[in-house]
Structure 1
Amino acid sequence: MNTPSSLIPADDAARLHALERYQLLDARSEKVLDEIVAATARLFGVSNAMLSIVEKDEVLVKAPYNLPVAIERIPRAQSLCSATICRMARPYSKIYPKPARWTLTFPCCSN
């Protein structure tokens, strides 16, 4: 299934290139991400949650929490994630530079 061009931003190639630097594009579960998603679900009092990564043609469900069915990937055209990406207007490589090391930060709480 092809993603409609209206859901692909003009700078999608730059976004995908920036995403590759994080090296998260395999389907393996990562314990730290699973724990963050579970903690976030508990914090907001929701029964399920997920961290997903929008690839070129698919959305990878990287860290599912308590989903009613097991989902690993879904077609990008069937995901709400593409609409969210289209709302962003800034260059991805400037917003999300690759960190020197992985740290968990909360921008809303930083000085």
Structure 2
Amino acid sequence: MSTESISDRREHIRSISVTALAALLGVGAALASVALTGDLPVDTAASDTRALFLVLGAIVVQFVLFNFTNIYADDEFGMKHHLFITFMTFAMWFVTWGILLTAESTA
């Protein structure tokens, strides 16, 4: 019984860590995208592919970081985990960057 609670707690902490890192790197990539395309008009900045490369870099950094820290020690780091990290990072980047571009165009 006690080993189950320790395992459940470790699983919960791992899930929170993975989700938080994906969200933070998504927001960080959006802030970096705004900094990178800040001198462009909003319509040009929205279609700039350099910002997309930033979010792809943030996704790749996470995969390397998770393999390096061995956060999925005994479990398989499968396709479900790859898709979750990719989706969370891209979604946070897309929403944050969209809000920042909209705020910039109305200011």
* TM-score, length basis structure 2: 0.21
Higher helix share: 2
Specify the structure having the higher radius of gyration (Cα).
2
Higher strand share: 1
